[in-house]
Amino acid sequence: MDTAAPATDGGRYLAVHHSAEFRELRRRSSTFTLWASVAFFGWWFLGSLLATYAPDFFREKVAGPVNVGLLFVFLSFTFVVALAAFYLRYARTHLDPLSEKIRADLEGASR
């Protein structure tokens, strides 16, 4: 078990928090979160507007008992799954390598 003084640990963590790598990691994460949120809430807002102001459009039959509204709901689920999959890929390729470097630097400093 590590018996380093808490002040020393706090100083190390503050140094990491203010480092360029950590700022870059936060920027990358925030950028993805921003555009993903805009895309998701834009889609949701579009659906709400269409359901409110164009209900006849949502009632249009596509095939059999499936109408545009039901198709929109299924596409919403698909959109969420695709967005989650894209985030996992983005995190694996852009966020994880940088966070692993930060963690390795931090753990290397504690030894």
Phi and psi torsions of 63, nearest 5°: -160, 120
Share of the chain above pLDDT 90, in %: 74
56 vs 39: CA distance, rounded Å: 25
Residue 5 pLDDT greater than 60, yes or no: no
pLDDT for residue 109: 62
Closest by Cα among 98, 87, 93 to 35? 87
- Taking only the tens place, the pLDDT of each residue in 8-61 is 667 888 888 899 999 999 999 999 999 999 999 999 999 999 999 999 999 999
Higher-pLDDT residue of 69, 4: 69
Residue 2 pLDDT greater than 90, yes or no: no
Closest by Cα among 22, 45, 39 to 86? 39
Whether residue 81 contacts residue 49, with contact meaning beta carbons closer than 8 Å, is answered with no
Determine the average pLDDT of the residues in 55-79.
92
Residue 110 pLDDT greater than 70, yes or no: no
Whole-number average pLDDT of the chain: 88
